[in-house]
Structure 1
Amino acid sequence: MYRPKTTLEQWRILQAVVDCGGYAHAAAKLNKSQSSLNHAVAKLQNQLGVNLLEVRGRKAYLTEAGEVMLRRSRHLTQNVQELEILADSINQDWEPEITLAVDLVYPKALLYPVLRDFHPQSRGSRLRILDTVLTGTEEAITQGWADIVLSPNVPKGFLGEPIAEMQFIIVCHPQHPLAQMTAPVDPNELMHHLQLVIKDTSQTPNEKQGWLKSEQRWTVSQFDTAIDLMTQGTGFCWLPEHTVCDEINQQKLVKLDLKGSSFRKLVLWLVHPRPDSLGPGSQLLSDYLLAHRQLKHTTLNTEEEPCK
């Protein structure tokens, strides 16, 4: 019978050293001594007969073999974590806490009726509702820290149920220079004006989504901040149509007629990052979310007044 040479703790220590950028920060994070981490990594390399790290100057860097081994080790530790979570779920009739990660583009007007219906059936479970954006939403799935994720993307290896459809439009103040153009706006013209963008909630954001070509960009954390800035005449922004219906109907903002495309269609998905360990409370909340799904183009706001 095969007996492993290494332990999960050794791999977790290696991951922490790499993620924290060195032994000192990893020791502080793990509440261990730096010497114990040095010993654990050295022993791991000796047991494997493979150099995982090489020291250059005062920093340790992954070798080519180390990069491969580290990547595979993350799958190993993640699988063990999921097994332990599954065991907890089996031993509990109802989970004490449910984490729902909601991408900022999901219409809150769809979420509130769900929560109203779920609350009487929640059996006292604590519910954490966390706003996420872009890579931060993706990490809620890939890192598995949420029980349910409402996301505009389904990462490779995961499954999702479509739950809402909406459009992103480009808007600015009626007196903004872009709004004064009679012909459809050339996308190249946008590059010369201030663009407002929403901050990615990931610790390591990856700017791979959306139109991000403007030479000037201001980053804000909420749609409301971007809307307030634009109603004062500052910048332009791509936003979900339902978030600016009131401002468009009150002529505080206008949709730009953009050459080639003035909007982007977006489908939102309900994703279970750890479907095998989904508890009964999370399943019930998912059922309510799906019951309130809206798969036709939505411009809803609280009064359900369509954008003009």
Structure 2
Amino acid sequence: MIGAITLDQLRILVTVDETGSFSAAGRKLRRVQSAVSHAIQTLETAHGVELFDRTSRTPRLTEAGRVLVNQARQVLRQTELFERTAKAISAGLEPQLGFAIDSMVPTEPITRSLKGLQTEFPDLTVSLFTEGPWSTEQRLRDGTVTLAIGTITPVTAQSLRAYPLTSIQLVPVVAPDHPLAQVDGPVTRDQLSQHVQLILTDPTQSGGQSFGVVSPKVWRFIDIARRLEFILAGFGWGNMPSHLVERYLIDGGLKQLAVDDPSVTPTALAIYAIHRRDNPPGIATTWLLNNLLEQNWR
């Protein structure tokens, strides 16, 4: 019972609206017509509102009735969701799934897995965090998420369980009107250091942890998409995942720099699915992890 309302009364109200009459609702609910009429009258009396106009042969919803029957449907849907969720949790399903994704990781394999997760667990609440480098690991450590996709460092790997997924090629790129784009032949490390480098940084660390820094002149970004916009606008050069800049390299919006120093750009950045060893995944997280491992990441 909710105050002076019972769920049974709300079901009767909705059924009368769906079937078009008290007698039809009684047949569908396997109740005598008088029981249906009594339930509706009880609702009307308790709340001082007329739900049906009974002046015609077939009762019709009043304006107030049309509003309240829609609210009754919402209450019944939420009740059903509550019951399904409680049953799933009692069977071992996580109340919610926290999932962090490094912003450099390709999106399509992840969306395919999440679509499957949604089909498999339609009532599961998912909290999705798109992070810069290192932040995914921090989300795991503070318990915000139970599963992350991103990079790991050897220093912290011992406390994490990591599953290889793919690797990302990083390429140095610059806008076509930038001075570095005008250099004939390979660009030297010294030439790179003379220009602003746009880098990703870790907002959780004092001073901002970074990698692949060559130039003493840097602009730091947390959001990789925003950094790409600034590279496209000619503010400087930067190492970008090849899958994020491929279309710009094709249409001329960016130019890939040929660099004579292989240490400037890592050949590949390994990407893993990660969870804490002391916080193993639950039913839904395990399903998602296994599905991610089955995806074609190429």
TM-score range, shorter chain: 0.5 to 0.7
Normalised TM-score (structure 2): 0.63
Deviations 1:197-221 (A, max 9, x none): 22424254652x5222322222233
Name the residue aligned to 1:251: 252
The aligned runs of 1:223-238 (5 Å cut-off) are 223-238=224-239
Superposed CA RMSD? 2.3
SS at match of 1:224: helix
Equivalent AA in structure 2 for residue 142 of structure 1:
R
Aligned equivalents of 2:246 and 2:280: distance in 1? 40
Give the Å deviation of 1:196: 1.1
Which of 167, 174, 177 is 2:179 aligned to? 177
| C-alpha spacing 1:274/1:99, structure 2 compared with 1 (3 Å) | farther
| C-alpha spacing 1:185/1:117, structure 2 compared with 1 (3 Å) | same
SS at match of 1:248: helix
SS at match of 1:249: helix
Give the Å deviation of 1:276: 4.8
Give the Å deviation of 1:266: 1.0
Worse overlay, 109-118 or 132-141? 132-141
The answer as to whether partners of 1:136 and 1:203 remain within 8 angstroms in 2 is no
Give the Å deviation of 1:183: 2.3
The answer as to whether partners of 2:172 and 2:265 remain within 8 angstroms in 1 is yes
Equivalent AA in structure 1 for residue 291 of structure 2:
Y
| C-alpha spacing 1:275/1:125, structure 2 compared with 1 (3 Å) | farther
Name the residue aligned to 2:288: 285
Normalised TM-score (structure 1): 0.61
SS at match of 1:153: coil
| C-alpha spacing 1:109/1:234, structure 2 compared with 1 (3 Å) | same
Equivalent AA in structure 2 for residue 279 of structure 1:
G
Equivalent AA in structure 2 for residue 287 of structure 1:
N
Unpaired runs of 5+ residues, structure 1, are: 1-88, 299-308
Percent identity over the alignment is 21
Name the residue aligned to 2:271: 268
Aligned equivalents of 1:267 and 1:244: distance in 2? 18
Give the Å deviation of 1:237: 1.0
Aligned equivalents of 1:101 and 1:138: distance in 2? 8
Aligned equivalents of 2:250 and 2:217: distance in 1? 28
Equivalent AA in structure 1 for residue 289 of structure 2:
S
Deviations 1:123-173 (A, max 9, x none): 411111101222322322333431101121152312211011120111001
Give the Å deviation of 1:231: 2.2
Name the residue aligned to 2:168: 166
Equivalent AA in structure 2 for residue 290 of structure 1:
L
Aligned equivalents of 2:237 and 2:260: distance in 1? 16
SS at match of 2:164: strand
SS at match of 1:99: strand
Aligned equivalents of 2:273 and 2:207: distance in 1? 22
User: Which is greater in Rg?
Assistant: 2
